[in-house]
Amino acid sequence: MSWNTFGRTLRFTTWGESHGPAIGAVVDGCPPGIALSEGDIQPYLDARRPGQNKFTTQRQEPDAVRILSGVFEGKTTGTPISLLIENTDQRSKDYSEIANTYRPGHADYAYDAKYGFRDYRGGGRSSARETAMRVAAGAVARKVIGEVSILAYVAEIGGDAVDPANFDAGEIARNPFWCPDAAAAKRWEALVDEARKAGSSLGAVVECVATGVPAGWGAPVYAKLDADLAAGMMSINAVKGVEIGDGFGAARLTGEQNADPMRPSLNEGGNDGPRFEANHAGGIAGGISTGQPVTCRVAFKPTSSILTPVESVTRDGEATEVRTKGRHDPCVGIRGTPVVEAMMALVLADHKLLHRAQCG
Amino acid sequence: MSWNTFGRTLRFTTWGESHGPAIGAVVDGCPPGIALSEGDIQPYLDARRPGQNKFTTQRQEPDAVRILSGVFEGKTTGTPISLLIENTDQRSKDYSEIANTYRPGHADYAYDAKYGFRDYRGGGRSSARETAMRVAAGAVARKVIGEVSILAYVAEIGGDAVDPANFDAGEIARNPFWCPDAAAAKRWEALVDEARKAGSSLGAVVECVATGVPAGWGAPVYAKLDADLAAGMMSINAVKGVEIGDGFGAARLTGEQNADPMRPSLNEGGNDGPRFEANHAGGIAGGISTGQPVTCRVAFKPTSSILTPVESVTRDGEATEVRTKGRHDPCVGIRGTPVVEAMMALVLADHKLLHRAQCG
Amino acid sequence: MSWNTFGRTLRFTTWGESHGPAIGAVVDGCPPGIALSEGDIQPYLDARRPGQNKFTTQRQEPDAVRILSGVFEGKTTGTPISLLIENTDQRSKDYSEIANTYRPGHADYAYDAKYGFRDYRGGGRSSARETAMRVAAGAVARKVIGEVSILAYVAEIGGDAVDPANFDAGEIARNPFWCPDAAAAKRWEALVDEARKAGSSLGAVVECVATGVPAGWGAPVYAKLDADLAAGMMSINAVKGVEIGDGFGAARLTGEQNADPMRPSLNEGGNDGPRFEANHAGGIAGGISTGQPVTCRVAFKPTSSILTPVESVTRDGEATEVRTKGRHDPCVGIRGTPVVEAMMALVLADHKLLHRAQCG
Amino acid sequence: MSWNTFGRTLRFTTWGESHGPAIGAVVDGCPPGIALSEGDIQPYLDARRPGQNKFTTQRQEPDAVRILSGVFEGKTTGTPISLLIENTDQRSKDYSEIANTYRPGHADYAYDAKYGFRDYRGGGRSSARETAMRVAAGAVARKVIGEVSILAYVAEIGGDAVDPANFDAGEIARNPFWCPDAAAAKRWEALVDEARKAGSSLGAVVECVATGVPAGWGAPVYAKLDADLAAGMMSINAVKGVEIGDGFGAARLTGEQNADPMRPSLNEGGNDGPRFEANHAGGIAGGISTGQPVTCRVAFKPTSSILTPVESVTRDGEATEVRTKGRHDPCVGIRGTPVVEAMMALVLADHKLLHRAQCG
């Protein structure tokens, strides 16, 4: 019910504005006795952090996370884990001239319509800066689901998709795009650089695969694992679409093509579940995990912060034009990749606990 | 938190299995004093009801809804509204032979993995029959948002899409496919009939548009209107993808192409908000409605209930084959259309009240 | 968040008015595989049922419960359990003349102030009839906590308290007052009969003890076991006070008197926790169970339905007098006893699952 | 559902341990546009702060609150308000010797039983230090309910009660006991000082009255205003009992004595509701406010931190004795008074918004 809280059993609440003194998250319901330190969280924040190369915003922030509660002698205590990052590189002046103008494609007008006014500095609460706290909370969630491995990567930028035949997980960390296809990464370099120089922006599709999820997580009907994933992913800034498994592609298949046939387990006892011969379903049936990899795809729109002037209105309803001169990403989907991983971890960890509550 | 409850302020809980004595919903938090009778709900159920033509399952049920509480002298009292539909045409025997077999693509294996056993009659709780109660609850929600009009239609079946140039809202009710394009409806007749005769099945894409939503509904960050829509739509049986506005298409646009420019209100006072010159965003920015139509697209997979045998395993882990001989839909997306409308109504009504709570 | 839902993990929602066609409850989150039938629930309803002797209201209802979902082949499936009781003996006419009058001490005026109108038949949603569904849901909860025994009894009627020295658990079911003290039961017979004849009413205090609760249920800070018990008990009709352990009595003790000293376990391994030499705390410390019996006391006011005229006003604000001629209990606390037991069971079962979620 | 979150619509989450670097609260759902600064919160914290006289613990902390988010240009923005207080005077060494011992009456054993280990420094999460954040959050809540005035005071210490005939609201702030009866305050000075010198402790009863609450806040059945008050108050450290209105006293009245007669409004239009001639009900009927003052009483046990040795066990199950030498309050109920006020404000503010959600 909370506006700024996500999760059912493992819940986290984020707070903070882009240009306030700090941002933070409170992770509640974490099992006790799990080894946790800032060192477990910081690498994920570093991966998300802007300013690392010319393909992402040049805002420079160390984004050093502090754990303020819920950990004692290096282990989680079962009480709320408070995470905090100070905002250090804020340059509020960059945004002063948009205080009275609605940036098209941004939440400016919607916030004003809802609340009557807004913190206009860097988008305030609507800034993608909030996602840093998802990444931090997600690092905690990963500790809760040690049996699961999560891998996200960019599958498409500006309509240029990776070739599944070239998929190489090792490649992902070797280029600035989280791209699993070396050839595509090469092409994207030109593509994104061109957009950057032109002050334009590009959309992206991020794919995420979680392996090791046991069968049985999720629940009918409104706590379906895929419904919670959809909510989690759609709540990320700039996301406009979510697919589980084949997603919209499944709508173009016949029932025969879409079938995920099952074969007996290779394990003699058979208690590791059936072998599936396909995974169109993305590892979820009836809202419950099947033991196959849980897969989803997430569409990021191009950021609306572009140099080309776009028609808009002022707060007083007068016509104006807006072009964004601040520091922005030519393709926000790139930096969204660690956020997608974090949300996958948070949803799965929550459902692990939820399943344990009901089914022991 | 509840497994079978949806919503934050206007909440509904559904219960019931496909072949139990009845199914039902409890709608809680409805504002008082709203005129409501079974006659307000039944037409939506009739529209969803199977057995109306050869393109949907031949299961025959009157699906007559009863209001058991929360209404007095024809008006809602503000207390929980209990809705109940008796199951009358159950034919449990149709399903007896699958008790020990996992139907591929169905939730059979996942339920067993989670709960240790399952009500195998017609899919039990995983049956799309549950969606009847969403439609009933949705009819109540519509009463809460009299300012909003909701229209859903099938935009694509088996990969064959409507032509936007042919869009005619009046056509939607004139064919059995909720199709707004007469030419497409003609083509689909052959397409679906062919699938039906072959015992095959087809996927579909349903689009939904809500007009009249004022700016300001929704909220950062985890109560975003689009995040709740994504959860609501993804929780519908057979849904594998959700898009808001341009969705995955937006990932292929540049920032310039994806812009939704704003112009001054034509209204002299200007207090009806800016005019938008495009709606790539689907009426939502930063998780909050902008006053534009709220649009989404929902992908339905082809039902896994097909006549073609698919490899599977028994509960004991033995190899077997499954072909579905029961009464099923060749394209479940068709009957999903009123369900999509209902979920749109439920999400919007909930956010209307949520907005009122915080912002008066 | 739901108005008519209680619980965090094992949740139940009740619906229905005193004089509608039926009342019901939906229990969600129940673990699967638990044997459950109407026969497990009915005895608790029979114990609560009115009309059994001259000391309780003469309303006659069989209160036969039906399970409409969530149970298959005699076992819970893990899906929502819908429970329904038809209202059969409604006599709406008894209440017709109070439609326009606010009964003092009842919720009539408050409901009108909130909702603008009300279902005045028998108190509508505010009727104690709702508690029948708590008893039914509580019977399900008891199945979830087989390790726990719950015993409630009336400790005081009209200020006349039982003598702890006379406590005999076997006596409780042998008198119409759930009284554990044969001598007190004798006195109460005269006391309650006098009140009944005079058309007056008496308050009562109910005590409840749950034994077998393991240490570790409950949680800081707002999910404290005692906080949830307080909410659950205070939500029962006519309840005005709740105590845990010594309650208000503890406020009159010194720290030395209130101490619950601990001694080493008699069990050699010691893993059954310390022995406590007193239980002023009522089995809860820091919101978490200690392994001692969980105890609480609940104060029921005398029902406001009395024959003596009380000054009041009409809906139009005119002065009037109200005397209640319907069928009512001279001491509602008596029939509240099974309801207190039910709420204890529901809170404990919920916390068992909640603890399992976080701590495995 | 969250363990450390309270509220339905206006929700707050607290975090932090007694001896960690800081404690904090996140208040979510606050209406926008409300003037708020640290200066609105600090006075309430100062009132609660320990170390102000010899009757409370000598721990010295400035408890300076910082607002880290949710306020812009002096007004609430509608986004989460993060409040933080640094812990400065921790003296962890005071507690080092109890790391391996269970203090009787404290949560030490229960925490270990639940979580397997605990942050033993000053009670960790179970410390009353958490209540500072309730007071801070409560100060925000007060801003939401400008129409309501809240007054709490100590009505009884160590069994010595104030005389209602001496009640003087102006006296409350003039003595160190929040005592409205100058004569009682005089007596308590000796009483508490004696307990302090003896290393003993005393219980207390705190009363709280909220005036200006309009009729109609609260809701059936599990969102009753009194049920939420009961939960809120019982969740405060050391609280063992909660009464609404006459509470346990009502259980000793007859229906005639307990009646709250209503008379026509003095206001000619009559739309300010009936005049009540008594308030045994404590301003709540059927879980909904009646427009009368909302009253409750809260019982605080004597703190278990006393100098007299009490038998206990070590973590290894060995017999030991515990006497508490740290800085503690001889009567924790005194400092609980501002906390009771805060919880009243938080519950009322939440229900104001909840009522607005449903009833406009």
Q: B114: which 2 tokens?
A: 């989670």
For residue B24, what pLDDT is reported?
98
A31 contact C CB<8A: yes
Q: Which chains touch D (3 or more CB pairs under 8 A)?
A: A, B, C
D360 contact B CB<8A: yes
DSSP assigned state of A59: -
The answer to whether the Cβ–Cβ distance between B311 and A263 falls below 8 Å is: yes
Tell whether the model's pLDDT for residue B54 goes beyond 80: no
For residue B198, what pLDDT is reported?
93
d(CA D204, CA D333): 5
Mean pLDDT of C133-161: 98
Residue range A125-146, pLDDT digits in tens: 999 999 999 999 999 999 999 9
Q: A243: which 2 tokens?
A: 């697919």
B67-81, B314-328, C4-18: segment of lowest average pLDDT? B314-328
Residue D91 burial (CB count, 10 A): 13
Q: Cβ distance C78 to B15 under 8 Å?
A: no
| Confidence band of C90 (pLDDT split at 50, 70, 90) | low
Q: Which chains touch B (3 or more CB pairs under 8 A)?
A: A, C, D
A78 contact C CB<8A: yes
Mean pLDDT of chain C: 93
| Confidence band of A324 (pLDDT split at 50, 70, 90) | confident
Tell whether the model's pLDDT for residue B269 goes beyond 60: no
Q: C34: which 2 tokens?
A: 């638990």
For residue C200, what pLDDT is reported?
95
| Confidence band of B176 (pLDDT split at 50, 70, 90) | very high
Q: Which chains touch C (3 or more CB pairs under 8 A)?
A: A, B, D
Print the SS3 string covering chain A.
CCCCEECCCCEEEEEECCCCCEEEEEEECCCCCCECCHHHHHHHHHHHCCCCCCCCCCCCCCCCEEECCCEECCEECCCCEEEEEECCCCCHHHHHHHCCECCCCCCHHHHHHHHCCCCCHHHHHHCHHHHHHHHHHHHHHHHHCCCCEEEEEEEEECCEECCHHHCCHHHHHHCCCCCCCHHHHHHHHHHHHHHHHCCCCECEEEEEEEECCCCCCECCCCCCHHHHHHHHHHCCCCEEEEEECCHHHHHHCEHHHHCCCEECCCCCCCCCCCEECCCCCCCEECCEECCCCEEEEEEECCCCCCCCCEEEEECCCCEEEECCCCCCCCCHHHHHHHHHHHHHHHHHHHHHHHHHHHHC
% of chain A at pLDDT higher than 90 = 84
Residue with token string 């003194």: A21
B295 contact A CB<8A: no
- Taking the CA atoms of residue A27, residue A30, residue A32 and residue A35 in that order, the dihedral angle to the nearest 10 degrees is -70
Q: Collapsing DSSP states into helix, strand and coil, what is residue B3? A: coil
For residue C59, what pLDDT is reported?
59
Identity of residue B31: P
Tell whether the model's pLDDT for residue A90 goes beyond 80: no
Q: Which of D257, D253, D261, D255 is nearest to C196 (CA)?
A: D255
H and E: helices and strands count for chain A: 7, 18
Cross-strand pairs, B26? B13, B82
Optimal mutation site among C26, C76, C144, C353, interface A, most CBs of chain A within 10 A: C353
| Confidence band of C303 (pLDDT split at 50, 70, 90) | very high
One pLDDT digit (tens) per residue for chain D, 360 residues: 579 999 999 999 999 999 999 999 999 999 999 999 999 999 999 987 755 666 666 556 688 999 999 999 999 999 999 999 999 866 556 566 678 999 999 999 999 999 999 999 888 999 999 999 999 999 999 999 999 999 999 999 999 999 999 999 999 999 999 999 999 999 999 999 999 999 999 999 999 999 999 999 999 999 999 999 999 999 999 999 999 999 999 999 999 999 999 999 876 655 578 999 999 999 999 999 999 999 999 999 999 989 999 999 999 889 999 987 766 789 999 999 999 999 999 999 999 999 999 999
Total residues belonging to chain C = 360
d(CA C350, CA A357): 9
For residue B66, what pLDDT is reported?
98
The answer to whether the Cβ–Cβ distance between C32 and B115 falls below 8 Å is: yes
Q: Cβ distance C169 to C155 under 8 Å?
A: no
Residue with token string 């300076």: D64
Residue C174 burial (CB count, 10 A): 13
Residue range A270-316, pLDDT digits in tens: 557 899 999 999 999 999 999 999 999 999 999 998 999 999 999 98
From the list D9, D79, D358, the residue facing B78 with the nearest CB is D358
Pairing of strands C275-276, C284-285: unpaired
CA D323 to chain centre: 27
Distance from CA of C356 to the nearest CA of A (A): 5
Q: Which of B296, B166, B131, B303 is nearest to A251 (CA)?
A: B303
C359 contact A CB<8A: yes
Tell whether omega for the bond before D65 is within 30 degrees of 0, i.e. cis: no
Half-sphere exposure of A154 (CA within 13 A, CB side): 30
A32 contact C CB<8A: yes
Q: D358: which 2 tokens?
A: 């449903």
For residue A155, what pLDDT is reported?
98
Q: Cβ distance B72 to C125 under 8 Å?
A: no
For residue C92, what pLDDT is reported?
53
Residue range B336-357, pLDDT digits in tens: 999 999 999 999 999 999 999 9
Mean pLDDT of C134-149: 98
Q: Cβ distance C72 to C164 under 8 Å?
A: no
Residue range C337-346, pLDDT digits in tens: 999 999 999 9
Distance from CA of A68 to the nearest CA of B (A): 23
d(CA D229, CA D342): 11
> Does B302 belong to an annotated binding site?
yes
For residue A54, what pLDDT is reported?
67
> Does B286 belong to an annotated binding site?
yes
Q: What is the largest CA-CA distance in chain D?
A: 73
Chain A CB contacts of D77 below 8 Å: 17, 115, 117-119, 124-125
Q: Which of A299-308, C40-49, C139-148, D322-331 has the highest mean pLDDT?
A: C139-148
DSSP secondary structure string for all residues of B251-274: GGSBHHHH---EE--SSTT-TT-P
Tell whether the model's pLDDT for residue B51 goes beyond 60: no
Mean pLDDT of C324-328: 70
Q: Collapsing DSSP states into helix, strand and coil, what is residue D49? A: coil
Residue range C58-76, pLDDT digits in tens: 556 688 999 999 999 999 9
B299 contact A CB<8A: yes
Mean pLDDT of B204-212: 98
